[in-house]
Amino acid sequence: MTDETTTPMIQMRDVNKYFDDYHALRDINLDIPKGQVVVVLGPSGSGKSTLCRTINRLETIDSGNIHIDGELLPEEGKDLAKLRAEVGMCFQSFNLFPHLTIRDNVTLAPIKVRKLSKADATKKAMELLDRVGIANQADKYPAQLSGGQQQRVAIARALAMDPKVMLFDEPTSALDPEMVNEVLDVMTDLADEGMTMVVVTHEMGFARKAAHRILFMAEGSVIEDTDPNTFFDHPESDRAKDFLGKILGH
Ligand SMILES: Nc1ncnc2c1ncn2[C@@H]1O[C@H](COP(=O)(O)OP(=O)(O)OP(=O)(O)O)[C@@H](O)[C@H]1O
Ligand SMILES: [Mg+2]
């Protein structure tokens, strides 16, 4: 079962999640192989964010189980911190530390959690900032950067932990239109390099181009699970047709 080639990077089995009486995730069963880029689509409130948040245990689940690279997602404690460090996450809001420079935002967790020396963490941070195209901003503070630059720092910060998986929840939704592409380009590069990614986005161009697989959610269930061309050209369910009509219709 621990065969490198067959162990899924993310495995969800019969996962259910309630918020009080509200059934937010219904019997989610999902195997995401290593290197797969999955785009999650669906109407507001369908459970996309909740799905992402259960994968790095920002939300608990009520039944079922989740494995990351063959390891059961722990309930709490040290093991949880370790596994969570392997799952990077970027949200709509960048959540950078405002009182730290860009460089220090990226070195903080590797020094504290991964116990890297300051020199090693700094070297790595500069490589990552270079990779996302903002090495020249390293001495600035977050408020001195544009939204697109801040989101690229947030991606570099997540990558500094050497994650096995990257989760993105509407990473470009808060950005001015002219900054969307610079963030999508970084994400496309990551995908091309073989990162396992789960991406909630409304950017249909990215979904078509970068995704290997589309999950379409409605009311807490995955109701379509297919490749992008099939999903966009031949959606099966009325809900997906309706969703695409709305999102592509204007
Ligand atoms: N902390 C919470 N407490 C109570 N209900 C919640 C909580 N978080 C989410 N929900 C509910 O769970 C459902 C799914 O929410 P979720 O945020 O996952 O949807 P979403 O698909 O990400 O929507 P959007 O596209 O608007 O971001 C919604 O009905 C939401 O109101
Ligand atoms: Mg959401």
Q: Show the 3-state SS of 207-228.
A: HHHHCCEEEEEECCEEEEEECH
Q: Which atom of ligand 1 is nearest to the CA of 200?
A: 22
pLDDT tens for 145-174 read 999 999 999 999 999 999 999 999 999 999
Burial 31-67 (b: 16+ CB within 10 A, else e): ebbbebbbbbbbbeebbbbbbbbbbbbebebeebebb
196 Cα: distance to centroid of ligand 1 (angstroms): 24
Whether residue 183 is contained in a domain is answered as yes
Look-up of token digits 């959540």 = 95
Confirm whether pTM is higher than 0.75: yes
**Inside any domain, residue 155:** no
Instruction: Find the CATH number of the domain harbouring 18.
Output: 3.40.50.300
Give per-residue pLDDT as tens, 55-99: 988 999 999 999 999 999 887 777 888 888 899 999 998 889 999
Between the CA of 30 and the centroid of ligand 1 the distance, in Å, is: 20
What is the DSSP secondary structure assignment for residue 167, as one 8-state letter? E
| Position 111 in a domain | no
Do the domain assignments include residue 14?
Answer: yes
The predicted-structure confidence for 107-148, as pLDDT tens digits, reads as follows: 999 999 889 999 999 999 999 999 999 999 999 999 999 999
Pocket of ligand 1 (CB under 6 A): 19, 22, 24, 42, 44-50
**Residue 108 covered by a domain:** no
Domain that holds residue 67: 10-96+165-249
CA trace torsion 48, 54, 58, 62 (10° rounding) = 120
Tell me the C-alpha distance between 51 and 86, whole Å: 17
Number of domains in the chain: 1
Domain assignment present for residue 126? The answer is: no
Instruction: Look at residue 46 and tell me if it is in a domain.
Output: yes
Ligand 1 geometric centre to CA of 177 (Å): 25
Residue 128 falls within a domain, yes or no?
Answer: no
**In this predicted model, what pLDDT tens digit does every residue of 187-245 receive, in sequence order?**
999 999 999 999 999 999 999 999 999 999 999 999 999 999 999 999 999 999 999 99
